[in-house]
C-alpha cells in the first residue's frame, strides 16, 4: 500500500545518493538497503528501519518538498514511443530504437518511479499531453554541467533521467552478492553512495574477485549472442539490438576487466534485486547513469559474497 511518509524518505534518500530503487511509497528490500547505507554514513545503528533517529537526520537534509507538480511541455512528451516491445531479440533488432513504450513509462523513469505510482499520485482523469499538470516525486535537478567529453546524446539522457552532475568520485566500488548492493567509496574508504543491484544467477553467478572498470559505452547497442545465454531459445541467432532505455543493458554499459561482464542499466527497474541476471551487475537506468559519472577507467570493482 502506498505510504506518503515512505515516499518522502525514498525521495530524500534518492537525492542523497542512497538509492531506494524505484520510488513507490512502499516498504521493501530496497528501502531497507538505502536506509542501512544512510545510517552507516551518518554513524547511526544500521537497522534498515525508519526509526526516530534516522527520521530526524533525514528531516535535516530534506530539502524541497518530496512531491512536485509539473506542467508537461511539448519537449517533455515528444517521443518517439515504440509501444510494447517484441520479446524475441531478432524482432527487436528490426526496430530503429528500443525506446520507451509510452509517455507514462518515460515519465516514470524521469522521476525514478513506476507507472503505477504516477497513476496513484494523480487523478484518474489526468491525461498525459502538452499542458497537463501532474504530480511526481521531486527528484528534479538543475545541475546539468556534465563533463565536456561526454557525447551530447548521453548528456541528454542524463538530463532526461534527472541525474545531476557533480556526483561524488569513486576511489573503488564494492558489489555485495548477499546484500544485493553496489557501494561507492572515496579515497578515505568512506561510503559516499549506495545502490540496489541484481547480481547474477545460479547459471551465471557473480564473479567474486577484484576487477577494474575498463571504460564506458553510452546509449549502447547490444550484441546478442545466444551462445552466451543459457536461457536462449532454440533457433535464435546473433543480432545487434539498437540503443534505447528498454534495451537489455539500458542506457549505459561499464565494461569490466572480467570478459563479458559489466555494470549496466535495465528495461525493468522495478525488478532490481528481485530477479536474476546473466552474471552482470544490473541497476536502474538512473542509478547506472549516476555510477557512470562516479567512475573512470581503472576504478577498482571488488565483488564479494
Residue (of 75, 116, 80) closest to 98 by Cα position: 80
Cα–Cα distance, 170 to 163 (Å, whole number): 16
- Has residue 167 got a pLDDT over 50? yes
Q: Would residue 181 count as lying in a domain?
A: yes
The single residue listed with the C-alpha cell 566500488 is 173
DSSP secondary structure string for all residues of 93-145:
TTSS----SSHHHHHHHHTTB-HHHHHHHS-TT---STT-EEEEES-------
Q: From the CB of residue 228, how many other CB atoms can be counted at a distance below 10 Å? A: 13
Cα–Cα distance, 208 to 305 (Å, whole number): 7
Cα–Cα distance, 126 to 72 (Å, whole number): 12
pTM recorded for the entire structure:
0.93
CA 3 remoteness from chain centre = 22
The single residue listed with the C-alpha cell 565536456 is 148
SS3 50: coil
Provide the H-helix boundaries in 111-151.
115-121
Cα–Cα distance, 58 to 16 (Å, whole number): 10
Split into its structural domains, the chain has a count of 1
Q: Would residue 258 count as lying in a domain?
A: yes
**H-helix or E-strand containing 68?**
strand 67-71
Q: Would residue 22 count as lying in a domain?
A: no
Q: Would residue 196 count as lying in a domain?
A: yes
Q: What pLDDT does 78 receive?
A: 85
Q: Would residue 131 count as lying in a domain?
A: no
Parent domain of 205: 172-304
Q: Would residue 255 count as lying in a domain?
A: yes
Q: What pLDDT does 237 receive?
A: 63
Q: Would residue 226 count as lying in a domain?
A: yes
Q: Would residue 194 count as lying in a domain?
A: yes
CA 252 remoteness from chain centre = 10
CA 23 remoteness from chain centre = 11
| φ/ψ (deg, to 5) at 162 | 55, 45
Mean pLDDT of 50-63: 95
pLDDT digits (tens, 9 = 90+) for 1-10: 789 999 999 9
- Has residue 18 got a pLDDT over 90? yes
The single residue listed with the C-alpha cell 530496497 is 30
CA distances from 88 to 78, 109, 240 (A): 27, 23, 12
CATH code, domain with 252: 2.40.440.10
pLDDT digits (tens, 9 = 90+) for 242-261: 999 999 999 999 999 999 89
pLDDT digits (tens, 9 = 90+) for 179-213: 999 999 999 999 999 999 999 666 678 999 999 99
Amino acid at each position: 500500500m502506498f505510504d506518503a511518509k515512505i515516499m518522502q524518505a525514498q525521495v530524500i534518500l534518492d537525492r542523497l545518493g542512497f538509492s531506494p530503487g524505484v520510488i513507490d511509497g512502499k516498504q521493501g528490500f530496497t528501502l531497507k538497503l538505502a536506509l542501512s547505507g544512510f545510517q552507516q554514513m551518518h554513524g547511526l545503528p544500521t537497522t534498515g528501519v525508519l526509526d526516530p533517529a534516522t527520521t530526524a537526520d533525514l528531516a535535516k537534509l530534506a530539502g524541497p518538498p518530496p512531491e512536485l507538480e509539473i506542467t508537461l511541455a511539448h519537449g517533455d512528451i515528444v517521443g518517439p514511443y515504440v509501444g510494447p516491445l517484441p520479446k524475441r531479440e531478432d524482432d527487436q533488432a528490426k526496430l530503429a530504437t528500443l525506446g520507451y513504450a509510452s509517455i507514462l513509462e518515460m515519465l516514470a523513469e524521469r522521476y525514478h518511479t513506476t507507472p503505477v505510482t504516477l497513476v496513484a499520485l494523480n487523478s484518474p482523469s489526468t491525461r498525459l499531453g502538452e499542458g497537463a499538470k501532474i504530480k511526481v516525486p521531486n527528484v528534479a535537478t538543475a545541475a546539468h554541467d556534465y563533463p565536456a567529453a561526454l557525447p551530447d546524446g548521453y548528456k541528454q539522457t542524463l538530463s532526461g533521467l534527472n541525474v545531476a552532475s557533480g556526483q561524488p568520485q569513486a576511489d573503488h566500488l564494492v558489489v555485495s552478492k548477499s546484500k544485493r548492493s553496489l557501494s561507492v567509496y572515496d579515497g578515505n574508504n568512506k561510503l559516499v553512495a549506495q545502490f540496489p543491484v541484481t547480481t547474477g544467477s545460479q547459471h551465471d553467478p557473480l564473479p567474486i574477485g577484484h576487477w577494474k572498470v575498463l571504460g564506458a559505452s553510452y546509449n549502447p547497442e547490444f550484441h546478442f549472442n545466444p551462445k552466451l545465454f543459457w536461457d536462449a531459445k532454440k533457433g535464435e541467432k546473433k543480432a545487434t539490438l539498437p540503443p534505447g532505455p528498454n534495451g537489455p543493458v539500458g542506457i549505459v554499459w561499464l565494461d569490466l576487466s572480467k570478459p563479458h561482464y559489466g555494470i549496466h542499466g535495465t528495461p525493468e527497474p522495478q525488478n532490481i534485486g528481485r530477479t536474476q541476471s546473466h552474471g552482470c551487475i544490473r541497476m536502474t537506468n538512473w542509478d547506472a547513469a549516476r555510477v557512470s559519472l562516479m567512475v573512470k577507467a581503472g576504478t577498482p570493482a571488488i565483488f564479494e559474497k
